[in-house]
Amino acid sequence: MTGGRLYLLPTLLGADGTDDLPPRTVTVARQVRHFLAEDAKSARAFLKAIGHPDPIAGLSIVEIGHEPPAERLDDWLAPLAAGHDVAVVAEAGCPAVADPGAGLVARAHALGHRVVPLVGPSALLLALMAAGLNGQAFRFVGYLPTLRAVLQTLERRSAAESETQLFIETPYRNARLFDMVLAACAPGVRLAVATDLTLPDEAIAMRTVAQWRALAPAQRPRLERRPTVFALLAPGRR
């Protein structure tokens, strides 16, 4: 291993929740001066929230976007060769897990640099932990088109493999996706909905599709513009 270390730095899942970061993660974040951020503005807000000792304007914060281009990776990782530590920061949660960073990690390995993952909140794992579904076999399928056929395919896969299916949607489309799941899936399918994880308004519930359908609209979860993870598990085939 040569040069500096590439840290994978988890960030907060919302504006609150600095207590959700372990002391070592905060200590490392305060020591790093070079950051590769999905979104520079949110990274600056995060570093300010954790009390980075340097003036934020004086830190190197490079915005890599949601799909970092491969041709830029070597330039972005150049500080490592000079002996400087670099931290990859997602907009929320853990980098390289349903967020940018995997390409940077792969390139750092290829160049012989040390990669160090740090502990912090991951919405996907928190949702899986709290869902009460199968945590031994699961698949994250990312953003889903709100199509009945796609949801029914997930249901069949879940039933065949006894595999929890995790998925997300843009927050303002959450309610539409929720309604589509209830319309497309069989009554016995179990559906967990985890919203605003680690935040003051956190809400987590798991019911069968039939039970969700039986609720009055006012009893259903408030999903609009709230970050949400959905988890689905279908009854196994016999």
Domains (ranges, CATH) in the chain?
Answer: 5-117 (3.40.1010.10), 123-233 (3.30.950.10)
| pLDDT at residue 237 in the model | 58
Find, among 67, 91, 61, the residue nearest to 79 by Cα: 61
Task: Summarize pLDDT for 116-168 with one digit per residue, the tens.
Answer: 999 999 999 999 999 999 999 999 999 887 678 899 999 999 999 999 999 99
pTM of structure: 0.90
Whether the per-residue pLDDT at 105 is higher than 50: the answer is yes
| pLDDT at residue 8 in the model | 98
Confidence of residue 1 (pLDDT cuts 50, 70, 90): low
Task: Summarize pLDDT for 49-79 with one digit per residue, the tens.
Answer: 999 999 999 999 999 998 899 999 999 999 9
Whether the per-residue pLDDT at 176 is higher than 50: the answer is yes
